[in-house]
A and B are shown apart, each in its own frame.
Chain A
């Protein structure tokens, strides 16, 4: 059937026996830029076709050591500096509106969504994982919201979703220190639902998917709708705040340092 399977430039999906697997594969670190965004839009546009015959969606990565490093900051910076200051924020707002629409659709998908995470899961990558119902993580996975280190806040819905799911204490630690946390800590905090051995996250996610697929689809969808409301008001305020912060010269200066740093560890204060 149309759009049950797709191979794009940055991702692919494959439907088999009621389970659709979305695999990110974009060098070097599955950064979410305009090409991946357009392909994610294609994916969520296929939900109408997929939903009647799909119990579970698994989102994973084919890249070694990486689920996703988050937003493509190089593309963001280069796109922004090329524009007059007044137009910069409009481009950013347009991107944010589109990625929010994608993640809200994944968040409310009428099937169960599982993020199978290995390696780094930072910023926008973590926000993609947070839009899923369940996160299964390889014990070598690491999670972070490094945005404040560059003078920004997470912009793909991360704060409202993490606050919805976990409460403020862990969120504030992640945000205000910008530190990375390992899978064990993320599991203890409730961010990760199931821990997997090294290289086993996808296997564990598939095992869970097979169990979930046994249950009644109507009840499953009703339960999800009941327990997982989308924080629309906060998500809108997040876009406004991100755009407000983005216009400051300090942000462009920090992004410039980050994208131009060729050292073994990119610039982050």
Chain B
């Protein structure tokens, strides 16, 4: 069973890998729209990547308005 910190770290690592950023370059409180400069298509790509990695479904309405990795990780963690 993962802890929330582990889930958060996996989210950060996956995002960094997906967007080809150096490991450790993302922080839990980063606003991923601003930090990554991503659009709606890229956001959905990241959602697919996260769902496939964690083996969960994360409905859009649960992440609507979420813009930081920490809150995103919390939403994911609640479905693990």
Contact = CB atoms under 8 A, between A and B. Distances in A.
Contacts of A140: 45, 48-49, 52
The secondary-structure label for the interface of chain A is: loop
B50 to A, nearest CB: 10
A227 interface: no
Contact of B41 (A29, A181, A185): A29
Contact of B60 (A141, A179, A185): A179
A119 B33 CA distance: 19
Interface residues of A, number: 21
B22 interface: no
Interface in A183-237: 183-185
Nearest to B50: A182
Interface in A104-162: 119-120, 139-142
B38 interface: yes
Contacts of A91: none
Contacts of A167: none
A265 B39 CA distance: 7
B51 A264 contact: no
A118 to B, nearest CB: 11
Interface residues of B, number: 19
Interface string B59-70: 111001000000
B71 interface: no
A34 interface: no
A181 B57 CA distance: 8
Contact of A179 (B38, B45, B61): B61
B40 A184 contact: no
B52 A65 contact: no
Contact of A182 (B40, B43, B52): B52
B4 interface: no
Contact of A142 (B39, B48, B64): B48
A119 B40 CA distance: 12
A183 B39 CA distance: 21
A65 B61 CA distance: 21
Contacts of A29: 41
Nearest to B36: A264
16 contacts: A65-B42, A65-B45, A120-B41, A140-B49, A142-B47, A142-B48, A177-B59, A177-B61, A178-B60, A179-B61, A180-B60, A182-B47, A184-B52, A185-B57, A265-B43, A266-B40
Given A29-B41, A178-B61, A265-B43, 7 more contacts: A120-B44, A177-B59, A179-B60, A179-B61, A183-B48, A184-B51, A185-B57
Interface of A: 29, 65-66, 119-120, 139-142, 177-185, 264-266
Interface of B: 33, 38-45, 47-49, 51-52, 57, 59-61, 64
- Which are the 4 A-B pairs with shortest beta-carbon distances? A179-B59, A264-B33, A140-B48, A65-B41
